Amino acid sequence: MLIGVPLETVAGETRVAVTPETAKKLKAQGHTVRVQSGAGVKASAPDEAYTAVGAEITDAAGAYGCELVLKVRAPGADELALMKPGTTLVGMLNPFDAEGLQRLAAAGLTSFALEAAPRTTRAQSMDVLSSQANIAGYKAVMIAADKYQRFFPMLMTAAGTVKAARVVILGVGVAGLQAIATAKRLGAVIEASDVRPSVKEQVESLGAKFIDVPYETAEEKEAAEGVGGYARPMPQSWLDRQKVEVAKRVALADVVITTALIPGRPAPVLVTEEMVKSMKPGSVIVDLAAPQGGNCPLTEPGQTVIKHGVTLVGETNLPALVAADASALYARNVLDFLKLVITKEGTLKVDLEDDIVAACRMTQDGQVTRK
């Protein structure tokens, strides 16, 4: 199969969907891999690294003109114009963006959005949400440590003792867990909150304290169980009690990392302006939910700002700041997904009996087919 790897065009995007490692594997499977010149440069993969494994270097038209196009981000109008009807596209295509999917359908693409894969054991190796959230959680702590003007670990020195940083993590999915693990390695004292009860054990196993907000009604308990491993919006009664507990912790915190998301909805507000005002000068908030509106209303997506003496980081693409490893993991996710949709003979097969393929398929034959 002729596989194209374009240079990503979204501002600030540094990742690439195929690395020299996965290009080599695709080549070994009998495919021709055409990489747009410069596609891997920002992820430490120059053109020569691709040619060394047998890939061809081409221009934009050459990459988008292939039968199968592998991307990180959903294509914009300029990119769609370069793709022929019948092209297969794999990437992170924003399954909740109905208009974007319409554009893919109108362009006649057969498209697969990897974010839509089910959170099952079989789909784990192609789970881009996990591979990228893991990186975001790590980088969030790195940025917080950089912006924070004190140490993370407790230090006893000849010049006196330095207290450990108090870190509060709100939302303990994949990103939150990695944030806890990373902050722990740096010696911080950590507390964490999530709506899902199953998280408590995971938080404690990483050496952090779980902020317990007991469920008082069957409705609260049911909502907290979520669906398919994801959170659902919690009843206001629970959110009010959570707010009280979170406010106490945030007022004492040096660093707050928020990652709370509900798929397809704006991010819940967990850190109010009042809470920010209660924080010590020099404290840091890293809001991973910034692209979905933020868990703090003072967050400015894409910006780092100081409000009420607190630094608020609204970085919207943290994985792109760890470009090489984010690409390495993403490219392996893509490679694994391709095993489900490419036959040994090198042709496309869309087996809708396969739950992963069916969930990821967004468009085919001019129609939006998203489940």
The smaller minimum CB distance to ligand NAD, of residues 124 and 303, is found at 124
What residues between 153 and 172 interact with ligand NAD by CB under 6 A? Answer: 170-172
Taking residues 46 to 75 in sequence order and writing x for each that binds ligand NAD by CB under 6 A, - otherwise, the string is: ------------------------------
Measured between alpha carbons, how far is 341 from 347 in angstroms, rounded to an integer?
Answer: 8
Catalytic center residues? 119, 124, 127, 130, 230
Stretch of 3-11, 39-47, 98-106, 194-202 lying at the interface with ligand NAD (CB under 6 A): 194-202
| Count of other CB atoms within 10 angstroms of residue 340 | 18
Among 1, 140, 262, 329, binds ligand NAD (CB under 6 A): 262
129 scored as a contact of ligand NAD (CB under 6 A)? yes
What residues between 169 and 188 interact with ligand NAD by CB under 6 A? Answer: 170-176
Contacting residues for 61 by C-beta, under 8 A, at least 6 apart: 82
Tokens of 240: 């009010």
The smaller minimum CB distance to ligand NAD, of residues 103 and 221, is found at 221
The smaller minimum CB distance to ligand NAD, of residues 133 and 331, is found at 133
Among 27, 103, 119, 209, binds ligand NAD (CB under 6 A): 119
Among 23, 69, 190, 270, binds ligand NAD (CB under 6 A): 270
The single-letter code of the amino acid at 200 is K
List interacting residues with ligand NAD (CB under 6 A): 119-121, 124, 127, 129-130, 133, 170-176, 193-196, 229-231, 234, 259-263, 268, 270
